[in-house]
């Protein structure tokens, strides 16, 4: 996936520039807590960038790039055949997604804005997971690390709130759900958006 990040970001910037021909535009940075329900330790974090262009007073097109990160571990303590075992099982995930879609402002009142948006695109997951296996001779238990890398279809859905600080800056919060392949993660984020024309 690391080899794909630069080409993906290049395509993302090109798409942003192609959109930025008319209407009001926003470039946003977000970060926050992400929940990974399928892991030993579900707590993780995420960072993301997005570009919006308003094609109407309330409707916009959006392109986003998301990275979800989780480094969890689980301690296992047991005894087999009078032999005590103590293992720390690591489980880490790096999820990436690039998507394009549409959104709409549900409420625009003064400096306040409530919106929803959805995107579809490609996602990539890099996962490492430790498991307990029996040694080749069957004499003792040991830890083995399993790795998985995949590129899959991905979608995201967001509901958020923005407050316009001045003519060029918004601050906000949002809740986003990500479906990358078969895994669903959700996140709660703080967001900073820059407005330009």
Per-residue pLDDT reduced to its tens digit, 24-34: 899 999 999 99
Token pair belonging to 83: 């032999």
Residue 21 has a pLDDT of 38
Token pair belonging to 142: 């040991």
* CA–CA dist 4, 171 (Å, integer): 30
Residue 3 has a pLDDT of 58
- Mean pLDDT (the chain, rounded): 84
Long-range contacts of 135-139 (CB under 8 A, 24+ apart): none
Token pair belonging to 173: 């919060």
Residue 148 has a pLDDT of 85
Residue 86: pLDDT above 60?
yes
Residue 5: pLDDT above 90?
no
Residue 124 CA: distances (Å) to CA of 3, 51, 63, 93, 139? 12, 20, 17, 10, 38
Going by pLDDT thresholds of 50, 70 and 90, the confidence category of residue 23 is low
């Amino acid at each position: 996936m690391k080899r794909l990040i630069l080409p993906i970001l290049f395509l993302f910037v090109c798409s942003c520039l192609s959109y930025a021909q008319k209407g009001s535009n926003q470039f946003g940075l977000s970060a926050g807590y992400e929940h990974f329900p399928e892991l030993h330790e579900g707590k993780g974090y995420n960072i993301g960038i997005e570009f919006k262009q308003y094609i109407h007073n309330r409707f916009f097109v959006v392109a986003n790039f998301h990275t979800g990160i989780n480094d969890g571990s689980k301690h296992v303590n047991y005894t087999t055949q009078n032999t005590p075992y103590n293992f720390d099982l690591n489980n880490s995930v790096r999820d990436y997604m690039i998507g394009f879609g549409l959104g709409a402002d549900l409420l625009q009142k003064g400096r306040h804005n409530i919106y929803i948006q959805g995107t579809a695109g490609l996602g990539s997951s890099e996962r490492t997971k430790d498991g307990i296996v029996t040694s080749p001779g069957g004499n003792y238990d040991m830890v083995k690390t399993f790795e998985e890398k995949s590129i899959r279809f991905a979608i995201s859905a967001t509901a958020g709130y923005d407050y316009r600080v001045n003519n060029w800056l918004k601050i906000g919060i949002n809740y986003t759900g990500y479906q990358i392949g078969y895994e669903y993660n959700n996140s709660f984020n703080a967001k900073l958006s820059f407005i330009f024309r």
